[in-house]
Structure 1
Amino acid sequence: MKTDSSCCCPSFIPSRESALFYLLWVLIALYMLAGAAIFSSLERPAELQAHQLWERRLTDFSHEHNISCEDLKSLLRHYEEARTAGIRTERGRALWDIPGAFYFVGTVVSTIGFGVTTPSTAMGKVLLVFYGLLGCSATVLFFNLFLEKVITFLSLPIFRCRRRRTGHSDLEGREIEGNRNEQWKPSVHQVTLILLVAVLLVACGAASLYSAMEGWTYLESLYFCFVAFSTVGFGDFVSSQREHHEDTWVYQVTNCLLMLLGVCCTYSLFNAMSVIIKQGLNWMLKTLVRMYRSVCHYKLQLRPLFKLCSSDSEPPVCYCEETTGYKQQVQVVSSSGHSKVWHSSVPTAVSKCLCDEAKVETVCKSLQNKDKKVIYTERK
C-alpha cells in the first residue's frame, strides 16, 4: 500500500498489479452476473416446459401400461446409472477399445472432457488424477509453443512487406534481416486477427464435415466446434460416437486432427485476446487514476476557500471616502498566517473613512481577543 502525498488527505492506493487483479475480478463477476441473467431469462421457461412435459408423459405411460410411477422412476434411475457406463438406447461404438480409449485420453489432456466416457473402476479414477496432471501440463506447454511458432511464422512475411515499403535493397535487407527479424515481432492485434481468421476457417470446415457425418444441422455443428475447440465440452454433442463410425477410420483420424488444430488455434486466440484485454484494463486504470488525481487536485485548491468560508469571523472592510491630503491603510493578520490588506491611496488626496472610529476600535479589540493581530495605521 502506498500513500498519496499529493492529495489533500492521505489515501491508501493498492499497487498496480493488485488494482489490475481487483478490477478484472469485478469485471468478470459483473460479466457472469449479466450472463446468468440473460441465459436464465432464455432457458428457464424451456426448462419448466420440459419438466411439465416429462411429468405428463410419465403419467400417461403409467396409466396406459398399468405401471406405477414409482416402479417406472426406479427403472429410469437404473438406466441413468447404466448410462455412465456407456449404455445408450441406440447402440453406439465401443468406448474402451483402443480407438475409444485414445479418444478418451485426448479429451482429458486437451481439457475438453465431454463426459461421455468416464472411468468406472476405482483404480481408473485414481490413475486419471495423475495422468491428467502430467498430460494437461504438457498440453498447455505445447499450446504455448504453438503460439510462439505462429508468431515466428507471421513475423517473417510481415517484416518483408515492411522492408519493401521502406525501399531497402535486397543486399541491405539480407544484412539487417537476421538482426531485425529476431527483435521485431508482429503486434498483438495482427496476431489476434490472423488467429481469428484461422479459427473461423477451421470451424467452418469442421462444421461441414460434422454436419455430413453426424447428421447435425450446420448451426449445431458450429456450436459443437466452439464447445470442443474452446475446451468447454458440455457433452450434449459428441462426435464419432455412432456405431458405423468404427469402420470409417479416415473420419476418426480426421476428427482427431481437427480437434487438435482447432484447440491449438482457439487457445492461442484466447491468449492473444487476453493481452488485448489487459491493455484495456491498464487504460481503465490510468483513466481512474487520472480522475482521482484531478479530484484531489481540485479539492486541494478549494481547501483554503473552505477554511476561509468556515472561519468564525471575517475582518471588517472599511469603505473610505477620498478627501484631500489623507492616506489610510488597514491590514488584518490572522493567527493562521492569512493576511488581507485594504488600502486607498491618492497622492494629493486625503481619505476619510465613512465608518465610525468608535466602531472600528470596538471591532479591533474583539479581533485581538480572538488571537488575531490588527494593525491600523493612519498618516496624513
Structure 2
Amino acid sequence: MKSWVLLTLLLVGYLIYLFLGALVVSTIESPYEGTLRDELRQLKQHFLQDSPCVNESGLEAFLEKVLNANKFGVSVLSNSSNDSNWDLASSFFFSSTLVTTVGYGYTTPLSDSGKAFCIFYALIGVPFTMLILTAAVQRLMAIFTHKPIRYLQVHRGFDRKMVTKVHFLVLMVLVLVLILMVPSAIFSAIESTWTFLDAFYFCFISLCTIGLGDYVPGEQNNQWLRPLYKVSVAFYLFLGLMFMLLVLQTFHKVADVHGLTDLFYLPRLRDQEDQEPILETPDSSARPEEPKRPLNAGAQASYSSINR
C-alpha cells in the first residue's frame, strides 16, 4: 500500500512539474512569438504595397511552398548552402540521429520509399544501438564506477555511502566539462552564428535525445570540411550518449546504496513469496506425509534461504 501511495505522489508531482514548465515557457516565449508575428505581418503588407502586381493569394501560395521545402532542409535563399542534404556524410549523420533517437527533424525523407525504409531501418537500428550502448556502459561502469568505489572503500577505508556520493559528484563534473562544455566551445568556434550558450544548448538537448532541431551543425554555407565535420559530430553524439548513460547508471547505484530505490520500487517477487504463509489443507492429516520436492528440478535454494 505504501508503494502505491508513493507512486501516486510521484505522478501528482510529475503533473505539477509539467504544468509549471508549460506555464514558465508560455510566459517567456509568448511575447517573442507575438512580436515576430507582428513583424511578419507588417513585412508582408509593405511588400504587397510596394509590389502591386503581386496578389496576396499568389504570395501566400509561394511562401507555403518555400516553408514546406524548408522543413525538409531545402532553401531557396541565395546565401544558403548548395551542398546536398543527402550526400554520404549527411546521410551518415542522419542515420546516426535516427537510430540514437536524437532525430533533429531538420532533414527528413522526401519520398515514400525513404519513409518506409526509415521505419524498417529504425526497427532494427534502435534496439541494436541500445544493445551496443548498454554493453559499452556496462564496461565503463566497471572502470569508472565500480573500481574507484571499491578501491576507496576497501583499500582506503572510507565509508561506502560517502564514497558513492563524492564519486558521483566528481563524475558529473568531469562529464559536464569534457562532454558538454569543451564540445560547446568547439561548436561555438566552428559555427559562426552560435554563441557558447547556443552550442551548450545544442549539446545538452542532443545528448538527452530530445533533438529539437533548431540548431543543427554543418548547415552553414560553404563550410570547411563539411563531410568530415558531419561524421565527427555523429561520433561525438554516440560517445556523449555513452557517458550520459554512465552518469544515469552511477546515479542509480548511489540511490540504491542510500536506500532511495527501496522507496519507489516494488519489492522483489521472491521476497513477497517468502513472506506469504503456507496454508495446510483440512484433510492433510488423513493422508500420508509425502517428501517435499522442489517446484523445478533445476531450482536451487536462494542466498537468503541458506542464511536463515
Aligned to 2:299: none
Alpha-carbon displacement from aligned partner over 1:284-309 (angstroms, at most 9, x marks no partner): 89xxxxxxxxxxxxxxxxxxxxxxxx
**Where do 1:139-288 residues align within 5 Å?**
139-154=129-144, 155-166=146-157, 187=164, 190-191=167-168, 193-215=170-192, 216-245=194-223, 247-273=225-251, 280=260, 283=263
Aligned to 2:22: 36
Q: Structure 2 counterpart of 1:27, which letter?
A: G
CA distance 1:21–1:124, shift in 2 (3 Å) = farther
1 or 2 for the larger relative contact order (CA 8 Å, sep ≥6)? 2
Aligned to 2:125: 135
**CA distance in 2: counterparts of 1:199 and 1:81, whole angstroms:** 37
Gaps of 5+ in 1: 1-13, 168-185, 286-380
Alpha-carbon displacement from aligned partner over 1:147-175 (angstroms, at most 9, x marks no partner): 322220022244334344249xxxxxxxx
SS class of match (2:107): coil
1:242, CA displacement in angstroms? 2.8
Aligned to 2:71: 84
Aligned to 1:346: none
**CA distance in 2: counterparts of 1:63 and 1:20, whole angstroms:** 63
1:260, CA displacement in angstroms? 1.5
Q: Structure 2 counterpart of 1:24, which letter?
A: L
SS class of match (1:244): coil
**CA distance in 1: counterparts of 2:207 and 2:70, whole angstroms:** 25
Aligned to 2:59: 72
Alignment pair present for 1:46 and 2:28: no
CA distance 1:120–1:151, shift in 2 (3 Å) = same
1:193, CA displacement in angstroms? 4.4
SS class of match (2:69): helix
Aligned to 2:103: 113
> How does the TM-score come out when normalised to structure 1?
0.60
Gaps of 5+ in 2: 266-308
Q: Is the contact between residue 204 and residue 222 of structure 1 (CA under 8 Å) also seen in structure 2?
A: yes
Alpha-carbon displacement from aligned partner over 1:37-93 (angstroms, at most 9, x marks no partner): 111111111111111111111111111122333221111001122223431221253
Q: How many residues align?
A: 254
Aligned to 2:288: none
Higher percent of residues as strand: 1
Q: Is the contact between residue 245 and residue 252 of structure 1 (CA under 8 Å) also seen in structure 2?
A: no
Alpha-carbon displacement from aligned partner over 1:80-124 (angstroms, at most 9, x marks no partner): 222234312212532112111111100101111111111111121
**CA distance in 2: counterparts of 1:71 and 1:189, whole angstroms:** 64
1:145, CA displacement in angstroms? 2.4
Segment of structure 1 superposing worse, 267-276 or 195-204: 267-276
CA distance 1:112–1:92, shift in 2 (3 Å) = farther
**CA distance in 2: counterparts of 1:249 and 1:78, whole angstroms:** 28
> How does the TM-score come out when normalised to structure 2?
0.73
CA distance 1:197–1:82, shift in 2 (3 Å) = same
CA RMSD of aligned residues (A): 2.9
**CA distance in 2: counterparts of 1:255 and 1:69, whole angstroms:** 42
**CA distance in 1: counterparts of 2:108 and 2:169, whole angstroms:** 35
